[in-house]
């Protein structure tokens, strides 16, 4: 039972390089946990909000591609700050990839990558395929980028592809993978970071009422994890979860401020990670709410 494990979990796993820490986490969890369980228990075991984000990101990848290996991975879409299919240049030519991805999360730790590439024929509308690339394959080159002020332990980099062999996943790269991933990532990162907060609350004796509200938020996350990522209702429910987390902000910040100065500084630095992609998430919420309003008026 994940809830019993969550409540019984001891001290977090000590920080290590991303790939090593994730291997230690997978060994600790054992078996093959669901994506939600990975985010929940992995976030609880994370020693920092940055590593909680990382495990939430890995959990989202497994929700997107259930056949993913147990090793860390990465989703590679962005080119020149855009994810719009018509603006991407990376191309699938037969079974080989050519191009560049500009901003890949944790690419230095990834043993495999899901790469979005243009795959339409001449004269056709832009169409994406999602391709599996193994790190270390011929034609793959990684270019690390400078660490960001936010979550500096989670690096980013460019991925260069020069005729790289790949496996093409079934389905449409945009509709079946890239588009729903944003919702899956929001949910699993929220789960992991809230589980990390609950772990800190437990270890440092935060007020019981706050601990229980964090736990209730995680129960809500578990329900949304069972819903289709592309459904309008899922976007509304996810909006409710983020609203609950936002409503706890002052209490959480006060609890951090009353404890370890070092821990409070880390949270002060990294708490903005819950604001990542906020604009896109709010647009999805507005669109979902509008769809229900139209049905009511019909």
Question: What confidence tens digit (pLDDT) does each residue in 199-234 have?
Answer: 999 999 999 999 999 999 999 999 999 999 999 999
pLDDT category at 9 given cuts 50, 70, 90 is: confident
CB 50 within 8 A of CB 152: yes
Long-range Cβ contact pairs of 277-281 (< 8 A, separation 24 or more): 277/182, 277/185, 277/186, 280/182, 281/182, 281/183, 281/186, 281/238, 281/239, 281/242
Percent of the chain with pLDDT over 70: 98
Beta-bridge mates of residue 144: 157
Question: What confidence tens digit (pLDDT) does each residue in 140-152 have?
Answer: 999 999 989 999 9
The answer on 292 and 181 residing in a single domain is yes
* Separation between Cα atoms, residue 264 and residue 270, nearest integer Å: 10
The answer on 48 and 181 residing in a single domain is yes
The answer on 54 and 77 residing in a single domain is no
pLDDT category at 95 given cuts 50, 70, 90 is: confident
pLDDT at 116: 98
Q: Which of 139, 168, 197 is the last residue of a domain?
A: 168
pLDDT at 31: 86
Q: Which of 168, 196, 225 is the last residue of a domain?
A: 168
- What is the residue-averaged pLDDT of the chain? 95
pLDDT at 276: 87
Q: Which domain holds residue 285?
A: 2-64+176-297
Question: What confidence tens digit (pLDDT) does each residue in 80-89 have?
Answer: 999 999 999 9
pLDDT at 298: 56
CB 189 within 8 A of CB 57: yes
- Indicate if the pLDDT at residue 1 is higher than 80: no
Average pLDDT over residues 81-107: 95
Decide which of 168 and 295 is more confident.
Answer: 168
pLDDT at 133: 97
pLDDT category at 30 given cuts 50, 70, 90 is: very high
Percent of the chain with pLDDT over 90: 90
The answer on 224 and 256 residing in a single domain is yes
The answer on 189 and 42 residing in a single domain is yes
Quote the tokens at residue 135: 């790190």
* Separation between Cα atoms, residue 119 and residue 125, nearest integer Å: 10
- CATH code of 133's domain: 2.40.110.10
pLDDT at 125: 94
Number of structural domains (the chain) is: 2
- Indicate if the pLDDT at residue 24 is higher than 70: yes
How many Cβ atoms sit within 10 Å of the Cβ of residue 83? 18
The answer on 252 and 204 residing in a single domain is yes
Q: Which of 144, 168, 192 is the last residue of a domain?
A: 168
The answer on 182 and 164 residing in a single domain is no
29-67 b/e (C-beta count within 10 Å ≥ 16 → b):
beeebbbbbbbbbbbbbbbbbbbbbbbbbbbbbbbbbee
Global model pTM greater than 0.85: yes
The answer on 205 and 261 residing in a single domain is yes
């Amino acid at each position: 039972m994940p809830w019993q494990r969550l409540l019984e979990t001891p001290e977090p796993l000590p920080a290590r390089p991303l790939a090593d820490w994730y291997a230690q986490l997978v060994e600790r969890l054992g078996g093959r946990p669901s994506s939600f369980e990975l985010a929940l228990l992995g976030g609880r075991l994370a020693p920092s909000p940055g590593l909680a984000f990382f495990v939430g990101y890995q959990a989202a990848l497994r929700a997107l591609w259930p056949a993913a290996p147990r090793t860390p991975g990465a989703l590679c879409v962005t080119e020149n700050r855009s994810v719009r299919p018509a603006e991407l240049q990376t191309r699938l030519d037969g079974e080989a990839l050519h191009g560049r991805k500009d901003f890949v999360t944790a690419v230095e730790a990834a043993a495999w990558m899901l790469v979005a590439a243009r795959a339409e024929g001449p004269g056709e509308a832009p169409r994406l395929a999602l391709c599996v690339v193994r790190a270390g394959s011929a034609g793959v080159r990684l270019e690390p980028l400078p660490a960001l002020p936010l979550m500096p332990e989670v690096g980013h980099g460019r991925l260069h592809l020069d005729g790289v062999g790949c496996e093409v996943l079934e389905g449409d790269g945009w509709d079946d993978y890239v588009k729903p991933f944003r919702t899956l990532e929001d949910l699993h990162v929220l789960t992991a970071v809230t589980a990390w907060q609950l772990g800190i609350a437990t270890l440092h004796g935060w007020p019981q009422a706050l601990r229980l509200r964090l736990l209730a938020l995680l129960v809500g996350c578990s329900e949304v994890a069972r819903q289709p990522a592309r459904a309008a209702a899922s976007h509304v429910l996810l909006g409710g979860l983020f609203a609950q987390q936002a409503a706890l902000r002052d209490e959480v910040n006060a609890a951090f401020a009353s404890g370890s100065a070092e821990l409070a500084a880390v949270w002060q630095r990294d708490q903005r990670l819950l604001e990542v992609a906020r604009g896109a998430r709010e647009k999805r919420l507005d669109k979902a709410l509008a769809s229900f309003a139209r049905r009511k008026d019909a």
